Amino acid sequence: MDIKQYVALRKEEIRQEISSAEKPPKLCIISVGEDPASQAYIRGKKKDSAEVGFEAEHVALPAETTAEELKRILIKKNEDPSVHGILVQLPLPKHLSPGMVNAIISPAKDVDGFVPGSHYVCCTPKGIVDYLTHEGFPFVGKNAVVIGRSQIVGKPMARLLLERSCNVTVIHSKTSEEDKRFYLAHADLIVVAVGKRGVIDSSYELKPSAFVVDVGINRDEEGHLHGDCEPGLPVALQTPVPGGVGLLTRLALLDNLLEAFKQ
246 part of the interface to ligand NAP, by CB under 6 A: yes
Distance (Å) of CA 7 to CA 14, 66, 233, 234:
11, 38, 23, 25
108 vs 225 by CB, closer to ligand NAP:
225
Q: How far is the CB of 249 from ligand NAP (least distance, A)?
A: 3
State the amino acid at position 120 in one-letter form: Y
b/e 146-180 (16+ beta carbons within 10 angstroms → b): bbbbeebbbbbbbebbeebebebbbbeeeeeeeeb
Site for ligand NAP in 127-186 (CB under 6 A): 147-150, 152-154, 171-174
CB 234 within 8 A of CB 205: no
Which residues partner with 189 through β-bridges? 144, 211
User: Binders of ligand NAP: how many residues, by CB under 6 A?
Assistant: 23
**Residue 45 among the catalytic residues:** yes
Cis peptide before 24 (omega within 30 of 0): no
Could you tell me which of 26, 110, 28, 30 has the C-alpha nearest to residue 69? 30
Q: How far is the CB of 56 from ligand NAP (least distance, A)?
A: 18
14-53 mask for ligand NAP (x: CB under 6 A)? ----------------------------------------
The active-site residue, picked from 48, 89, 126, 142, is 89
Shortest distance (Å) from residue 200 CB to ligand NAP: 10
Q: Is 112 a catalytic residue?
A: yes
Check if 71 is active-site.
no
x/- map, 68-107, ligand NAP, by CB under 6 A? ----------------------------------------
Query: Does the protein bind ligand NAP through residue 217 (CB under 6 A)?
Result: yes
Residue from 215, 251, 252, 253 touching ligand NAP (CB under 6 A): that is 215
Strands (E), 111-262: 143-147, 167-171, 189-192, 211-214, 218-219, 225-226, 237-238
Beta bridge partners of 58: 29
Tell me which stretch binds ligand NAP (CB under 6 A): 69-77, 98-106, 183-191, 243-251.
243-251
Query: Residue 192 in contact with residue 228, Cβ under 8 Å?
Result: yes
Residue 207, Cβ neighbours under 10 Å: how many?
A: 17
CB of 218 to ligand NAP, least distance (A): 6
Which residues are catalytically annotated? Answer: 45, 89, 112
Binding-site ranges for ligand NAP (CB under 6 A): 124, 147-150, 152-154, 171-174, 193-196, 199, 215-217, 245-246, 249
